[in-house]
Structure 1
Amino acid sequence: MSTEVSASPWRVGDPSTPVVDITVPYANENRDRVLLGEWRRQGGERVPAPPMRLPRHGAGTYRARIWKQNLLDLFLEDQYSDAVAGGTGGPGGHLEDRIVTSVTLSGEWRFATGGQRATAAAGMVCVRRNEDPWDFEIARGTRAITLVLPASEIRFPSNTRAVTAEQGSPAAALLLAQLRLWAELADGLGAAAAGAARNATLELFRGLMNDQVIDDAEFAPALLRAAMDHIEPRLLADPDLSPRGIAAALNVSVRTLYRAFGQGGTSPVMGYVRERRLERARAELTSTRLTVSEIAARWHFADSSHFVKAYKKRFAETPSAWR
């Protein structure tokens, strides 16, 4: 069976010099000890060996190759692995104080910890916190780019251990394009440019996280409150108030904004805007001499008939009856 490893579309480190390049026959009775011993010899402190175990096969050879590139306090690894299982993370464990992102190019990674599971199949991105121990399984012929960041730089939802996204999603595609370009140009960048690239990468990573998850017990209610506070003074002043504009003002994605409103037990964004406008219009029916048509126009309803229909649906009576 061939052990050739195809060229990667990423340029990580020196392509002619992998940090780890190991071949172990599956049939070797001492295969796990040979694998770990050789990994420690080659990788040393630069690529520490996590606990691993090879499946028992009568034929075939396990192959692992890793290229590594440091990008200031971040680093990338281009990893190829055949079928293997193991563990990582936890107190004193491998990369315990880091956020680890697997960008799977082929094959599949499977992770499990504390009852939570995550799968990083080809075409997916899997971001995981590493302070808890993870069990992992890698399918034969798996190739992935791994991005490792300091945990102190990323605000991870408190009740979530892993987040997955499609590599083709806008936020993920933007982050991956930035990483590939930085990796290719890193050797020629000065200190200022490298620092700017590092900060841009972190911002794009935060954008990916915000776009994919909003079930943090603190973040979702805070965002919902901020959105409501942003909307209230614009109900009258801004006839073009929209989810896209609200999300942009709050520096979150439209998807994240929708999730916040869904979790808050309120209507979708524009449903909430309409409801608040109806409530404000209802108050003016008894506090002003404006006609129903004038109030409808003032609160940005298309015409009086639309206003009356929406009002009756909301309050079970017509504006005239209330007045």
Structure 2
Amino acid sequence: MSDQKLEDSADSSLNCGRATDFKTKMNLTARQIRDTEHIFQEWEGGPFSHLTRLTIPQQSAHGFKFSANGHLFESLLSVKVYCDSLTGISGSNLDQDPIVADLVTAGRIGFAGKYGTHIVTPGQICIRDTKASWEFDCAPATRVRVVTIPRHLLFSRMRSTKVLNQAYVSDISAPEVRFLLNFLEAIEKTSDDLDLSISAQNIALDACATLFSGMLSERAELGLQEHPNATLKAAKNVIEKNLDRHDLSPAMVAQTVGVSLRTLHRSFSASNDSIMAFARRRRLQKAHGELVRLGGKASVSEIAARWHFADASHFIRHFKSVYGTTPTAYLRNYGATGSEN
């Protein structure tokens, strides 16, 4: 079967008739997957050209579907993608390889690179420099918002490009991520205006580059590359910022820092500590400060729940082990009253 026949039968097309319109679609049968070479040849030289060694797993007995719809202008691509099971390499060690953000809304994408492994699940975003090659594994029926931007646009905005060695992984709930998504939605709503104005396109591109560099620069501020205890320092910074979150966990911290879970555990072990022991101590200190500040205005149970202790008895036990007495007795010594229930 020739590539042309595949293109016709697979309903695969690329339409960039307008500067801001982008659409591509692929619908392959299991036989086409098995019998045809160079399935992704049409991607060469396009916005997905940083993806190489693409392979559709043999177990895709029901075929393969891929679609991308969105906008492309001035090398900024923003598309919503549906992709069945696919593996490959993202990045070819070329200067023209872009910075790519993947916001997963369904399914899963795994990335493995020199500096870490990340599993990006629904509600998470991963930003990475594709000049540093990443192996990826896309689960069946994955839906993802993909944004690509030329890497050179970020260089002048960052104090250190070493931070690009690490991937930035965060939840969609993070304020900076929500701001980025709102910005992308604004671009889509004004695509007609952008199509008519090169100046507007340049402004949008510059704003997007500023957003990306700002998000990535937070990693640089943690001193991730320069400090000898960089991983430990970065992890503690992440824990400090998320003490009030009920889903704070070693896995969440590892993903945010951009290291493997094993590396994170090893960093804490080297300091004779553990991830959750550190988080518990800091939560206890926060709870102690709140207890003293509020006095009898808040019950011990309320404070224990706010700082994610299992229950009041667990909180009282940990409090006594550190401060030598129960919270109520502690407050009494400060001339305040409280209740352990």
TM-score normalised to structure 1 length? 0.55
In structure 2, what is the Cα distance between the partners aligned to 1:58 and 1:209?
Answer: 36
Displacement of 1:18 in angstroms is: 2.6
Mapping 1:228-307, distance limit 5 Å: none
What's the counterpart of residue 140 of structure 2? 140
Mapping 1:157-236, distance limit 5 Å: 157-158=162-163, 160-189=165-194, 190-211=197-218, 214-217=222-225
Classify 1:191/1:24 alpha carbon distance in 2 versus 1 (closer, same or farther; 3 Å).
closer
In structure 2, what is the Cα distance between the partners aligned to 1:159 and 1:186?
Answer: 30
Cα RMSD between the aligned structures? 3.5
Equivalent pair of 1:89/1:96 in contact (CA under 8 Å): no
In structure 2, list runs of 5 or more residues that go unmatched.
1-9, 11-18, 229-256, 258-281, 283-341
CA offsets 1:57-112 (integer angstroms, 9 cap, x no match): 273121111235223232223221101111121335xx853211111121111111
Partner amino acid for 1:173?
R
Equivalent pair of 1:96/1:132 in contact (CA under 8 Å): no
What's the counterpart of residue 41 of structure 2? 40
Secondary structure (helix, strand or coil) at the match of 1:50 reads strand
* Percent identity for Structure 1 against Structure 2: 18
Q: How many pairs were matched up?
A: 206
Secondary structure (helix, strand or coil) at the match of 1:215 reads coil
Classify 1:210/1:53 alpha carbon distance in 2 versus 1 (closer, same or farther; 3 Å).
same
Partner amino acid for 1:164?
V
Secondary structure (helix, strand or coil) at the match of 1:165 reads strand
What's the counterpart of residue 116 of structure 1? 116
In structure 1, list runs of 5 or more residues that go unmatched.
4-11, 221-258, 260-267, 269-323
Partner amino acid for 2:213?
R
TM-score normalised to structure 2 length? 0.52
Partner amino acid for 1:50?
T
Match of 1:23 among 21, 27, 32: 27
Equivalent pair of 1:78/1:143 in contact (CA under 8 Å): yes
Displacement of 1:217 in angstroms is: 3.7
In structure 1, what is the Cα distance between the partners aligned to 2:41 and 2:168?
Answer: 30
What's the counterpart of residue 152 of structure 2? 152
In structure 2, what is the Cα distance between the partners aligned to 1:161 and 1:132?
Answer: 9
| Structure index of larger Rg | 1
Displacement of 1:142 in angstroms is: 0.7
Secondary structure (helix, strand or coil) at the match of 1:51 reads strand
Classify 1:58/1:78 alpha carbon distance in 2 versus 1 (closer, same or farther; 3 Å).
closer
